[in-house]
Structure 1
């Protein structure tokens, strides 16, 4: 079993990584956060969307913390669709989904 020190260390790292990811959007225009950066169409806002979906799924299953809302990629038929923000998704909506998925971390009794 993992000790408290290790849990705290890993949790702090996860918080830091989440903050860093979100900070990459600071000061960028809508065009810049949605601009495709790879041949597959991945964009910065899409990386936040992807993290929200898969963190919600992982933490939901592993720690029995079900996500309180709809996660679009679970319904998606197109591979990789969670790696970009669609025109119908706002920056606020994606950031709120990421917050609900655990950024900043939800209070949970994780043993």
Structure 2
């Protein structure tokens, strides 16, 4: 057995970003084909909804990737520190939340592209700095965790399961 050389920084970043994108795409796939009532339906005793998880993930993408590394975050209409990012208000449309997630991803992707993996940032809610590398691993884990929650919620709604769109037949 031979050892392959360690991935270089650009290859490592590509690997980390590809993994994150796979889970991000699964999050959006979990919404496909459902109506507004199904997306907003509380499916757990704590009130977790598919759309609430998307709003939360958008909020944390902005927080970890953009705010932490000194980027400009769009003004939020809710307080994520009061867990308002987990709940969907009656005046928040599905389109608004999905577009918010898209903007958060795009802003995060710009930071990922512009910074080296060793770049340090400091979240306003923590007493220590984190590297972009650490943040990529953390957000991949966070996104995968919530994509798993969404998989269970989706199964309870209509029986659909899986971590990616099935291939067209």
TM-score normalised by the chain length of structure 2: 0.57
Q: Which has the larger radius of gyration?
A: 2
The residue that corresponds to 2:50 in the other structure is 44
Return 5+ residue gaps in structure 2 as ranges.
Answer: 1-7, 117-169
2: CA distance, partners of 1:88 / 1:10: 36
2:98 matched to 1:95? yes
2:13 matched to 1:7? yes
1:7-56 deviations in Å (ceiling 9; x for gaps): 10010111111111011000001111000011111100000000001110
1: CA distance, partners of 2:65 / 2:42: 28
2:19 matched to 1:19? no
RMSD after superposition: 2.1
| Contact 1:15–1:103 (8 Å) recurs in 2 | no
Question: Which one of 74, 80, 85 corresponds to residue 82 of structure 1?
Answer: 85
Q: CA deviation at 1:105?
A: 5.7
Return 5+ residue gaps in structure 1 as ranges.
Answer: none
Question: Which one of 114, 120, 136 corresponds to residue 109 of structure 1?
Answer: 114
1: CA distance, partners of 2:77 / 2:64: 13
TM-score normalised by the chain length of structure 1: 0.83
2: CA distance, partners of 1:82 / 1:39: 17
